[in-house]
Amino acid sequence: MIPYGRQDIQQADIDAVLEVLQSDFLTQGPVVPRFERAVADKVGARYALAVNSATSALHIACLALGLGKGDWLWTSPITFVASANCGLYCGAKVDFVDIDSRTYNLCPEALAIKLEQAERAGQLPKIVVAVHLCGQPCDMQAIHALSKRYGFRIIEDASHAIGGKYKGEYIGGGRYSDITVFSFHPVKIITTAEGGMALTNDDLLANRMDLLRSHGVTRDPALMTHEADGPWYYQQIELGYNYRMTELQAALGLSQLERLDDYVAHRNTLAERYDAALAELPLTTPWQHSDSYSGRHLYVIRLKLEQIDATHRQVFERLREQDIGVNLHYIPVHTQPYYQQLGCRSADCPEAERYYAEAISLPLYPTMSNELQAAIIAILKDIL
Ligand SMILES: *Cc1c(COP(=O)(O)O)cnc(C)c1O
């Protein structure tokens, strides 16, 4: 089965990991800080904290921003469940803002209306998680302006979007948000096997996330409640976790980072080739805002079902029967049984549900050959 996404591992990656494997440190050594500095410098952020997954990064980001019981976290329903679950981990309540009909990202107009209602009800969110779906950045300027008016904090879930740009600047620089999160899962743009990162320009947030990813324990005398008992001394000053990234993962990430711009450029070339080849078919290709240079993690088409003699599910199944590992990103999170049982109502996100009824992710990854892409296009044409 041709996957919808997959990693690219080259000899330089293998050499980098082997070198660490034979070194003194498998974890808590010099390579993680080097990887953090390299990503921070690349995207223009002051601080980067590497962790063992983007899910962990989202969790410590929420905690660092003070999310807790009684608070609300809002996000888009068209995302992986982790963008919402991080709120529940903190004991907060989660709600969803409908998507924009063209970008499929959280819709700033829907957000504005919901904020107005929430203000009247005294239930404004503490955090909004803006998910850059497929790698295309959200309308961050609009979301940021609303955050100033209503006093919420912003986390960018840029799990799909490292290497992409918003208004000419790399995503992750934090101009319009408090914290940005990247994922390095193998289907994402660069990989560390499992892994993630939280970036910020705020030293207090960086310090808190640093503590939270490693048991809430510090060796920094400046953070301690009293003078050290001796050279062995450390203090636990928070309830933290073990969310650390290993040296092996960081070495792989550093090596992959060298090819980031090439990966994103190649993904954009493949996406444009799909756009051109699929233009005449009864489907909608991914619309791109002029402010955005997408990381192109996913290539999502939407079927024009009224013009097709098959159901969404039949088209999907026929592609799978031909070994094309299409996927559907994502099932609206508010329709998941776990969220239904928490009381999420479907009527609030009609655009997200329309999207779900029509969307299919086609394979897109940098090692995909032109021949393979042509074959996928031919099969899709044939089915439609
Ligand atoms: C992949 C993904 C995550 C979770 O990433 P992990 O590194 O697997 O924890 C979170 N949000 C979105 C939008 C993702 O696609």
Residue at token pair 């410590």: 60
Residue at token pair 């450390």: 234
Q: Which residues on adjacent β-strands are paired with residue 284? A: 302
Could you tell me if 38 and 257 are in contact, meaning their C-beta atoms sit under 8 angstroms apart? yes
- pTM, two decimals, is 0.98
Token readout for 75 is: 């996000």
Token readout for 263 is: 């990966």
Boundaries of every domain in the chain: 11-257, 260-383
CA–CA gap between residue 210 and residue 89 (Å, rounded): 18
3-state SS assignment for residue 111: helix
Look at the domain 260-383 and name its fold. Aspartate Aminotransferase, domain 1 (3.90.1150)
CA–CA gap between residue 267 and residue 75 (Å, rounded): 26
Q: Output phi, psi for 62, to 5 deg.
A: -65, -45
Sequence-distant (6+) residues with CB within 8 A of 83 are 58, 75, 76, 129, 131, 157, 333
**How does residue 345 score in pLDDT terms, banded at 50, 70 and 90?**
confident
Query: With a 6 A CB cut-off, is 55 part of the ligand 1 pocket?
Result: yes
pLDDT higher than 70, residue 246? yes
Query: With a 6 A CB cut-off, is 157 part of the ligand 1 pocket?
Result: yes
Average pLDDT of the residues in 233-256 = 97
Give the burial class of 120: count Cβ atoms within 10 A of its Cβ; 0-12 exposed, 13-18 middle, 19 or more buried: exposed
Which residue of 183, 191, 329 sits with most ligand 1 atoms within 8 Å of its CB, as the best mutation to test the pocket? 183
Residue at token pair 């996957």: 3
Which ligand 1 atom is at minimum distance from the Cα of 132? 13
Average pLDDT of the residues in 358-362 = 98
- What pLDDT score does 346 carry? 63
Query: With a 6 A CB cut-off, is 183 part of the ligand 1 pocket?
Result: yes
Which ligand 1 atom is at minimum distance from the Cα of 187? 1
More confident position, 346 or 118:
118
Query: With a 6 A CB cut-off, is 174 part of the ligand 1 pocket?
Result: no
- What pLDDT score does 172 carry? 98
Spatial CA neighbour of 153 closest among 57, 61, 85: 61
Spatial CA neighbour of 335 closest among 59, 78, 102, 123: 78
3-state SS assignment for residue 202: coil
Residue nearest to atom 6 of ligand 1 (CA): 54
CA–CA gap between residue 16 and residue 18 (Å, rounded): 6
Mean pLDDT (the chain) is: 97
Judge whether 11-257 and 260-383 match in fold.
Answer: no
3-state SS assignment for residue 135: helix
- What pLDDT score does 164 carry? 98
Classify domain 11-257 by CATH architecture: 3-Layer(aba) Sandwich (3.40)
pLDDT higher than 80, residue 241? yes
pLDDT higher than 80, residue 347? no
One-letter identity of residue 10: Q
Q: Output phi, psi for 102, to 5 deg.
A: -100, -45
- What pLDDT score does 348 carry? 86
pLDDT higher than 80, residue 150? yes
DSSP secondary structure string for all residues of 274-299: HHHHHTTSSEE-----TTEE-----E
Q: What share of the chain is helix, strand, coil (3-state, %, to 5)?
A: 40, 15, 40
Instruction: List the helix and strand counts (H, then E) for the chain.
Output: 13, 15
pLDDT higher than 90, residue 344? no
Average pLDDT of the residues in 149-171 = 98
pLDDT higher than 70, residue 320? yes
> To which H or E segment does residue 170 belong?
strand 169-170
- What pLDDT score does 355 carry? 98
Counting every residue, how long is the chain? 384
CA–CA gap between residue 286 and residue 21 (Å, rounded): 42
CA distances from 164 to 83, 194, 297, 325 (A): 19, 21, 10, 25
